[in-house]
Amino acid sequence: MDDASLSCDTQDAGPDDAWLDAECRRLLGFGRRVVHPLGGAAWLDDDGAPDLDRPVHTWITSRTVHVHGIGALLGVDGAASTATGALDGLRGVLRDPEHGGWFGEVGPDGEPDDAKSCYAHAFVMLAASTAVVAGLPGADDVLAEATQVFEEHFWDDDLGRVVDEWDRAWTTPAPYRGLNSTMHSLEAMLAVGDVTGDVTGDDVWHRRAARLAGLVLELAPSYDGRLPEHFGPDWSVDLELNSHRPDDPFKPYGATVGHGLEWSRLLLHLEATLGDAAPAGLLDTSRLLFDRAVADGWHADGAPGFVYTTDWQGRPVVRQRMHWVVAEGISAAAALHRRTGEEGYARRYAEWWAYARDHLIDLERGSWHHELDAANRPQASVWPGKPDLYHAVQATLLPRLPLAPSLARAVAMSGGLRAPA
């Protein structure tokens, strides 16, 4: 695909559907070499080559199944094979045959780590639900096991919240509780509910997602739209966690701007899924989170782009620009515009696609630069290489689809989202 096929005027109106379709397929083409010799998905370098010195991660493998499973539904050549190869890693090297569930990662020597994380297992559920919709071999068994493991070990039905991490043998939970695993659990529950509800006639997973959202409905107004991410075992807020290591890739200090945008979007998906049964306040909270993320994060230090994190007064802490934050901003703006029809969201959508075009989309080596410095130059202090297509691919899909059902089911129902000729 040449550069001309990706030209678009994103400054005023945002990209059209044909451009979004082309970008989605370009991204998936970058990931065509992702299947790891051990099974699962490899970490990809800046050119899309597998970095075999790095572990095989369950979260990357699961996201690979998800995006390439959607690619299979779109009719992208080779996508079904890539998704199946990654799914085989969830059925093989990443699965714990002794205690059940999935390792967080397996090293290049084939040795697994000992922790079992909610974050990784949420993505296994998302991957399996997409794989079922795409008709990938073995998907039904993975989904059945993933939902059973999640119910048994990560879902706290008394509180309507999730446990963040266990040891390998499921004997002792870690004391930490986190909003990141909560967020991706809600995302996975919406997708699982779309797949299993048709079979069982039970919306249990959607109702669980609504209970998880209750935490954010409480937190957002209490902290002026800046969501605390870290909690103790009793769900007491810890605002100072990792203040000495603020750029931690999974547990950064302070408010994470991109998560405010991601939650803003997910609350609208939940509202659309549940209809009249949705909790009150989802739209208002979505607006609050979006507005706060934009006010604190966008152009916060005089240069375009979203800063990664802020302190609790909204001052930038980690100033790197992460590609996934822009992708989530695009997706959240599209969702709010679809929900409200307000032109302000459409203007933000176009503005952020223009930024992605100017600074993130790498037409020379492929995919998007994963991290930029405060001057919008590529760097790799937090995210070396280009290991993840999930956020960028979804940013090309979500603006073309309704707010419900979830992505794989929506693509399947659309007949493959064929772009205009």
Neighbours of 299 (CB within 10 A): 12
CB-based contact 268:403 (threshold 8 Å): yes
Amino acid occupying residue 365 = R
Closest CA to 233 of 165, 283, 169: 165
Burial class (CB in 10 A: 0-12, 13-18, 19+), 400: middle
Indicate if 370 belongs to the active site.
no
DSSP 304-351: SSB-SEE-TTS-BS---EEHHHHHHHHHHHHHHHHHH--HHHHHHHHH
Give the DSSP H/E element, type plus range, for residue 43. Answer: strand 43-44
SS (H, E, C) 233-295: CCCCECCCCCCCCCCCCCCCCCEEHHHHHHHHHHHHHHHHHHHHHCCCCHHHHHHHHHHHHHH
Give the DSSP H/E element, type plus range, for residue 106. Answer: strand 105-106
Helices (H), 150-203: 179-200
User: Exactly one of 206, 259, 323, 337 is catalytic; which is it?
Assistant: 259
CB-based contact 207:155 (threshold 8 Å): no
Check residue 138 and give left, alpha or beta (phi > 0: left; psi -120 to 50: alpha): left
CB-based contact 41:64 (threshold 8 Å): yes
User: Exactly one of 68, 184, 337, 391 is catalytic; which is it?
Assistant: 391
Alpha-carbon gap, residue 349 to 332, rounded angstroms: 8
Residues in the chain: 421
Indicate if 391 belongs to the active site.
yes
- The first and second tokens of residue 367, run together, are 């995919």
Give the DSSP H/E element, type plus range, for residue 211. Answer: helix 204-222
CB-based contact 163:173 (threshold 8 Å): yes
Q: Which residues are catalytically annotated?
A: 259, 391
